[in-house]
Structure 1
Amino acid sequence: MNQTRDDAELDGPMLFGRVLDGQGGGRPIDWRQAQDWRPAAPGEVLWVHLCRDRPGVQQWLEVELGVPEPTAELLTSDETRPRAFREGTTLVATLRGINFNPGAEPEDMISMQLWSDGSRLVTLRRFPLQTPREVLALIDRGQGPLDAGATVTLLAELLITRMSQAIVDMNQVLDDLEDEDPDDDPEGMLSRISGIRRNCLALKRHMAPQHEALEQIARDAPAWFEDHDRREMAESIARLRRYLDDIDISKESALVLQDELRARSLASSEHATYMLTIVAGIFLPLGFLTGLLGINVGGMPGVDDPRAFWIVVILCMGVLVGLMLLFKKLRWL
C-alpha cells in the first residue's frame, strides 16, 4: 500500500495525540510524552490515535496501560467484527466506518479499535480513517468533546453519519435506474442493480453487529461514561437502526427492479419464440406442398402444362389465407 499522509506524520506508532482540557480544546502531545503521561489537572484526558500494525503497540498497551494480553491482541489484530465489552473500569470496542479512500468501495469498511479507562483513550486503526481527524479538528478549534465518554460518543456518531452518504448514493442510483428505459441497456442495468444488492448485503453484514456493539456500550459502559453520553449513544443507535431499515428498503427496491427487468426480458424472449412458432406453423404446410411437388419422379402432374406454375402459386396463396383465418379463429394471432 502506498504511503499515506497519516503514515508520513507517524511519531513512532502514534498518528496524533491530544490532552483534552475538559473545555472542548486540547494541547498536542508527542509519543514520548504520551508514554509517560499522567493527569496534570482535574478533567484532563489523554487521547492517542495509533497505527495498530506498528511495532511496539501491543507491548505498550500491556506494559504501560496494563491491558490484559488477550485484549491487547484484540486491539492490534485484524479481527474487525464490531463488538464492545467492559473490562473492569475500562471500555474496549471495535467499530467500523465507511472506506472513503481512493479506489475503495462503500462495503470495504475500515475498522477502528478503542480502549479507554476514563482518563486515557486509545484509538487504533490500520488504514486511514477520516472520522478521528474530524474530531481532532474540532478539538483544535476548541469545539471538541469534553472527556473520554464524549469522545467515544462523538466518534461513534460520526462513523454512523458517514454511513448515511453511502446509503443516499445507493438510493440515488436506484432512482435513476427506475427512470431509465429498460430497453436501452437491460444487461447494464441488471449489472448495476446486482452491484447495489451486493453493497446492501455487505453494509448490513457490518452495520448489524455495530448496532449490537453500540447497545453494549450504552448498557454496560463503566461509570465514567456518564448519563448524557448514554443518551447521545442511544440517539446514535436509533439513527443506525434507521439506516439499517433504509438498507433493507434499498435491497428490496433493487430486488423488485431486478425482477421487473428479468420479467420484461423473459416476456420479450417468449414473444419472439411465439412469433417464430407461428411463422413456422404457417410455412410448414407450404413447405410440405412445395417439397411434394418438387420431387424428381415420373408422373408429376402439370410438367408439360404452362399454367401449372400459376395454379400451384394460387394453391399456396389459398393455403396461406386459410391458415391465417384458422389461427385468427383459434386466437393464436
Structure 2
Amino acid sequence: MDAIETDAAEGMDPLIFARVLDGKGGGRSLARGEVDEWRPAHPGEVLWLHLRRHAPEVLPWLRGDLGISETTAELLVSEETRPRALREGETLVATLRGINFNPNAEPEDMISLQLWSDGRRLVTFRKLPMQTPRDVVTMLDRGRGPTDAGSAIVEVVEQLTLRMNQTIVDMNAQIDVLEALDIEEDYEEILPRITAIRRACLALKRHMSPQHEALERIAREAPDWFDESDRREIAESIDRLRRYLDDIDISTESALVLQDELRARSLASNEHATYMLTIVAGIFLPLGFLTGLMGINVGGMPGVEESSAFWIVVAVCIGILALQLFLFWRWKWL
C-alpha cells in the first residue's frame, strides 16, 4: 500500500506501507504478500513496516510471522500509550507521542506511535493517522532518507519533536495577542482563551515530560546496532524537547500572570463599585432619615403651617450633605 492512502481506502489491512532501506538513503516498496518472504538481498538492508495497531490481524502477525514475543506484542498494540522505552536483548521497544493534526482534533490531544526494532527490522504502529512516518517514507522514496534502523528511529523522533515546535509557537503568539488586548473591554473574550491555553500547556507537558524520559532511556540503553551518531542525534532531540518543555512552562506562567491580572482588575472593579455604593448609602442615610421623619403624618409637627418650612428642611439637608462631604474628605474616604 502507498503511504499517502487513507484508512478509508485501505480498509483494515494491518499494513499501511512497507519499505526496504537500501543503506544509502533510499528504499523500495514491498507489497503485503512479499513481506513475509523478505530476506536481506544485500548487507545493510532493513525492513520497515508501518502497521495499524488496532487491526485484528496485527497481534497474530506479530507473534507468528514476525516472531515477536507475546508480552511485547501485546504491549505494542495496547491502548496504554504513555511514552516509554525499554530494551529486550538486542531489540528496542518504545512508545512515543506526537501532535495530533487530524481534522477536528486539538493539537494537545497527542497521538501515539509505538515502535519495535531488532536492527534488521523496524516495525512502527499507530491507531490514528500520523504525518511523521509519511514524511520519513517520502524522504526514502526521494533517496534522502535514513540508512538503517537506528537512523530511521532517530528521524522519526526528530520529526515528532519538530512538529511540537509550531504548536508551542502558536500558543506563545496567542498569549502575545491577548496581552495586547484591552483587559477591561475584552474581559469576556480573553478569559476563555487563557483557560484554553493553560489547558493545552498542561496536556502537552503531561505527554512530553515522559517522552523526554523515554528518549533519554533510548540514548542510554539502546542495543549496539544503535550507533554513536544515532545516540548523538537522539541527544539533540532530547535537548530540543527540553527547550520545548521550558517554553511550555513560560507559556503557562505567562497565561497565569495574565489570568491573575484579569481577576485582580475584576476584583478591584467590583470593590470600587461596592465602595461607591457604600459612600452613596452613607450620604443618603441621614438625609433619608430626616426627610422620613419630616414626612410622618402626626399632629403637632412644627412648621406645618409655615410656608417657609419646606425651604428650611431643604437648607438643613444641604447643610448635612456638605458636612458629610467635608468629613468624608477629611477621613480620606473620597
Letter aligned with residue 151 of structure 1: A
TM superposition shift of 1:40? 1.1
CA contact (8 A) 2:12 2:55 kept: no
In the other structure, the counterpart of 1:272 is 273
In the other structure, the counterpart of 1:188 is 189
CA contact (8 A) 1:35 1:64 kept: yes
| Separation of aligned partners in 2, 1:145 and 1:41 | 16
Letter aligned with residue 108 of structure 2: E
In the other structure, the counterpart of 2:105 is 104
In the other structure, the counterpart of 1:58 is 59
| Separation of aligned partners in 1, 2:33 and 2:225 | 27
In the other structure, the counterpart of 1:321 is 322
TM superposition shift of 1:11? 8.0
In the other structure, the counterpart of 2:144 is 143
| Separation of aligned partners in 2, 1:309 and 1:249 | 68
Q: Which stretches of structure 1, 4 residues or longer, exceed 3 Å deviation after superposition?
A: none
Question: Aligned with 2:125: secondary structure?
Answer: strand
In the other structure, the counterpart of 1:234 is 235
TM superposition shift of 1:7? 4.1
In the other structure, the counterpart of 2:285 is 284
Q: Following superposition of structure 1 onto structure 2, how do residues 91-170 of structure 1 map, counting pairs within 5 Å?
A: 91-170=92-171
In the other structure, the counterpart of 2:301 is 300
Aligned-pair RMSD on alpha carbons?
Answer: 1.1
TM superposition shift of 1:59? 0.9
Q: Following superposition of structure 1 onto structure 2, how do residues 209-224 of structure 1 map, counting pairs within 5 Å?
A: 209-224=210-225
1:250 aligns to 2:275 (yes or no)? no
The answer for unaligned runs of 5 or more in structure 2 is none
Letter aligned with residue 65 of structure 2: E
Deviations along 1:218-253, one digit per CA (max 9) or x if unpaired, are 111111111100000000000000000110111011
Q: TM-score, normalised by structure 2?
A: 0.97
| Separation of aligned partners in 1, 2:8 and 2:92 | 27
Aligned length, in residue pairs:
330
Deviations along 1:147-177, one digit per CA (max 9) or x if unpaired, are 1000000000000000011100110000001
TM superposition shift of 1:12? 2.6
Letter aligned with residue 287 of structure 1: G
| Separation of aligned partners in 1, 2:9 and 2:153 | 26
TM superposition shift of 1:187? 2.7
The answer for unaligned runs of 5 or more in structure 1 is none
Deviations along 1:35-55, one digit per CA (max 9) or x if unpaired, are 221111111111110011112
TM superposition shift of 1:313? 0.8
Percent of residue pairs identical: 67
In the other structure, the counterpart of 1:80 is 81
Letter aligned with residue 254 of structure 1: A
| Separation of aligned partners in 2, 1:81 and 1:18 | 27
| Separation of aligned partners in 1, 2:56 and 2:201 | 36
Question: Aligned with 2:134: secondary structure?
Answer: helix
Distance 1:151 1:7, change over 3 A: farther
Letter aligned with residue 71 of structure 1: T
| Separation of aligned partners in 1, 2:11 and 2:51 | 9
| Separation of aligned partners in 1, 2:149 and 2:100 | 25
CA contact (8 A) 1:83 1:210 kept: yes
Distance 1:137 1:11, change over 3 A: farther
Letter aligned with residue 229 of structure 1: D
Deviations along 1:252-284, one digit per CA (max 9) or x if unpaired, are 111111101100110011001000000000000
Deviations along 1:182-220, one digit per CA (max 9) or x if unpaired, are 011213211111111111111000000000100111111
Question: Aligned with 1:122: secondary structure?
Answer: strand
In the other structure, the counterpart of 2:16 is 15
CA contact (8 A) 2:183 2:190 kept: yes
Question: Aligned with 1:17: secondary structure?
Answer: strand
| Separation of aligned partners in 1, 2:329 and 2:217 | 71
Question: Aligned with 1:95: secondary structure?
Answer: strand
CA contact (8 A) 1:97 1:162 kept: yes
Distance 1:11 1:146, change over 3 A: farther
In the other structure, the counterpart of 1:173 is 174
Question: Aligned with 1:92: secondary structure?
Answer: strand
